[in-house]
Structure 1
Amino acid sequence: MARFIVVVLDGFGIGEMPDVAESRPQDCGANTATKLLDHFPLKRLPTLEKLGLINTTGLTRSVMQPSPHANWGTAKLAHDGCDTFMGHQEIMGTQPKPPMIKPFQASIDSIEQALNQQGYPTERISRDSLQLLVVKGAVVIGDNLEADLGQVYNLTANFNHISFEEVKKIGQVVRGANAVSRNIAFGGFIPSMERIFHAIEIKKDQQGKPAYIGVNAPDSGAYDEGFQVVHLGYGVDAQVQVPHQLHQIGIHTYLYGKVADIVQNDSGTSYTSVVDTDEIFTLLLKDLDNHQGFFCANIQETDLSGHQQDPKRYWQVLEKADRGLAAVVDTLVASDVLIVMADHGNDPFIGHTKHTREQVPLMVYSPGITGVQVGYRNTLADIGASAAAFFGANPPESGCSLLAPLKLEKEPHSF
């Protein structure tokens, strides 16, 4: 049996999508990778250089050069916006559906009714004519203030007053009562509910009117101790994604970091709530030493550096990831495939703290195969389709395999 490995450098895009001027004018000029390479022109990322990073970006001011031996391509985003959740669902083979944009205020009645019908007591908190829901005195529900406004609702919980298992059940009720693209149920051991209430903030719409109300997640203290999270997506069918399709033929799936938090992998191994880049690679390398199958790891600290608009930290994380990738490459044999990519951009020079809608690099490595251009792909789902084809599984909902030009020794793998 062989290994198919995907490493996602979260937020490491290579230039704005063609539709940015229309769909996200705030992202015009975004190019995460090229701007970082130009900002640190004398520094090298030797593994990414060999894998073909400069092949994907085009020439920059960097001392790094294109690699004639690299197998590389690029991919566009098929999902609207530039969301980590939908990006990873797309990687797993989902055909993205257009998201609904709806402030929490427009959904509060239906969500409260659904919760009450399931026996969950609720109360409302008001701020400047906007309202949040509080469930069992322990979970606060409102708009997500970090993602694109109106597309995500958050459930912020205090585990001193309620278990994560019950929060997940509440999350499922909320999920069934609204149609925005994502609901996130999370929490931690927070000293008091007052800490959450003090983190409530209001955001204005494009007309300058208060329209969105939610909890500032970092300020709430949810991340400080015992953080746990589950992401609940709209229109995502896990039965047509790669982990399920591989399970049907006995192939095990291993997920690491944020991808484990957001992709359903009931029959596989998921390392959830892991953020540290070195820890991600330590877990991945341990499993590569002992197991075969499909592996997907998300390097989240790149994305966090973009949110902080911190190029120096971003580069430091890339250096850590580069060392981790070197160790992964050293473990590979001719029957293995490694794909290094991103899920969107997060330009640390753009001037705002949200994701940027960018195309992503595709760097493909398999020992003994060199100099192959795998093309300009129209969807991230081509990665999921490639993993299914590699193992001889049924294809996922969307995507086309990019493996054919690589002429692997044995494709598909049958067991």
Structure 2
Amino acid sequence: MFQRVIVLVMDSVGIGALPDADQYGDAGANTLGNIARSLGGLFLPVMNKLGLGAVAPIEGLKPVTQTGFYGKMAEKSHAKDTTSGHWELAGQPIFTPFPVYPNAFPEEVISKFVRLINRPVLGNKVASGTEIIAELGAEHMATGYPIVYTSADSVFQIAAHEDIIPLQDLYEMCRIAREQVCVGEHAVGRIIARPFIGVPGNFTRTANRHDYSLEPNGDTVLDTLKKDGFAVIGIGKISDIYAHRGITRSFSSKSNDDGMSILLDLVRSNTGSGLIMANLVEFDSTYGHRNDVVGYGRALERLDGQLALLIDSLQVSDLLIITADHGCDPTFAGSDHTREYVPLLVYYHNCPGGELGIRETFADVGQTIADNFSIAKLDYGRSFLHKLVR
């Protein structure tokens, strides 16, 4: 069928609350819809033409003739985070939620970490990353003690100033946490290195973040593609999310713009038959978690312009899938992810366009990829390849 499948994950770009959102405290969440309403409309002509405006009402998007296939997907996993969303996209939903720590980490976790890194820690609380470095950054610089914190997600985050704790030392602390501390009942979804620079009152997180994820429960479509000799290229934090499994080449990115630049270069080149998967994290990390509605909206509009370049760069045998991994509605109180449907926009040269409906699981993406490359079927998901090419 298609020689290459390009999956672009707009991190946190949800499109309306799931039926069970109230169980997560997210009733009424709608990342795209609420941003558009708050800003008096969004200008997204490319995504609108692909069918976004036909998926759900979004202020500013007017009815047009769709040139792509469109729908939305529900998350089958019992979660609403990056790891669960991406694993499910690749065919491995999770049904036992990762542990979370709304009251901070228990003493047994912290004491073990302190003993293994041979120094005390600061923090151990639920906090925003920018707020906790503003609060504890000066003390961290004076003592050299790393800052440990968590959020509503299943994460163990370690923040450190790059001039106080060198990056390699910070990464080693994260490896210790991943391999020796956050294990068993405390096996959080991700350990995250959160380096920053600057001076008290003016700290800035850097692009040297690094995620240490659990390994997926079973084989993902990435694993099978790699085993069968296909290229599997990850952009941004894709390789980290899958614990570096099933990846043949990986490109880190510093921003959405950088990620799109890398993606455009790869799409325009001969990467071989297989999968290119990119994550655009700034929607989530820079705008969603910081409740920056204006910034989020402008970033969406900027991506829309870049999608025009991406579509023009597609080769005749390329299939483009645009989706997300969860929501993070910046209009909501708090700064946590939100339990939402995610958009599903699909395009290839001269495709007729049409509806893909409401999909029961993100795994439909992985199953479609498996179907396209005639590799082993996944345990979850229904392929929509037959709907694309009749």
TM-score by length of 1: 0.77
Q: Percent identity between the aligned chains?
A: 28
> Structure 1, residues 349-399: CA drift from partner, whole Å, max 9, x if none?
223322211111111112222233223111112112222221222234532
Distance 1:127 1:247 in 2: 39
Q: CA deviation at 1:109?
A: 1.9
Distance 2:342 2:202 in 1: 33
Match of 1:268 in 2: 248
Distance 1:105 1:115 in 2: 15
Distance 2:291 2:161 in 1: 29
Match of 1:213 in 2: none
Match of 1:24 in 2: 24
Q: CA deviation at 1:105?
A: 6.0
Aligned partner (choices 251, 267, 281) of residue 300 of structure 1: 281
Distance 1:396 1:333 in 2: 27
> Structure 1, residues 57-86: CA drift from partner, whole Å, max 9, x if none?
14x442522434431111011223421222
Distance 1:288 1:127 in 2: 43
Match of 1:231 in 2: 212
Distance 1:312 1:61 in 2: 15
Helix, strand or coil at the partner of 1:346? coil
Match of 1:12 in 2: 13
Aligned partner (choices 301, 322, 326) of residue 308 of structure 2: 326
Q: Any stretches of 5+ residues in structure 2 without a counterpart?
A: 126-139
Match of 2:268 in 1: 289
Aligned partner (choices 322, 336, 345) of residue 340 of structure 1: 322
Is 1:356 aligned to residue 353 of structure 2? no
Change (3 A) 1:338 1:103: same
Match of 1:188 in 2: 195
Match of 1:395 in 2: 377
What is the identity, as a one-letter code, of the residue corresponding to 1:86? S
Aligned partner (choices 360, 377, 390) of residue 359 of structure 2: 377
Helix, strand or coil at the partner of 1:240? coil
337-346 or 260-269, which moves further after superposition? 260-269
Distance 2:356 2:63 in 1: 19
Q: How many residues align?
A: 365
> Structure 1, residues 148-192: CA drift from partner, whole Å, max 9, x if none?
4xx322233455545255234313222335434323141437589
Helix, strand or coil at the partner of 2:190? strand
Q: Contact 1:15/1:30 (CA < 8 Å) preserved in 2? A: yes
> Structure 1, residues 84-143: CA drift from partner, whole Å, max 9, x if none?
222112212212132234467664425645885xx6535466889xxxxx9xx9674744
What is the identity, as a one-letter code, of the residue corresponding to 2:24? R
Distance 1:345 1:127 in 2: 26
Match of 2:156 in 1: 153
Distance 1:97 1:143 in 2: 25
Distance 1:368 1:126 in 2: 55
Match of 2:236 in 1: 257
Distance 1:61 1:110 in 2: 46
Q: Contact 1:275/1:299 (CA < 8 Å) preserved in 2? A: no
Distance 1:328 1:341 in 2: 15
Aligned partner (choices 152, 177, 181) of residue 174 of structure 1: 181
Q: Contact 1:45/1:319 (CA < 8 Å) preserved in 2? A: yes
Q: How does 1:214-225 map to 2 (within 5 A)?
A: 223-224=205-206
Change (3 A) 1:294 1:101: same
Q: Contact 2:122/2:147 (CA < 8 Å) preserved in 1? A: no
Is 1:33 aligned to residue 32 of structure 2? yes
Q: Contact 1:382/1:399 (CA < 8 Å) preserved in 2? A: yes
Distance 1:94 1:19 in 2: 20
What is the identity, as a one-letter code, of the residue corresponding to 2:78? D
TM-score by length of 2: 0.81
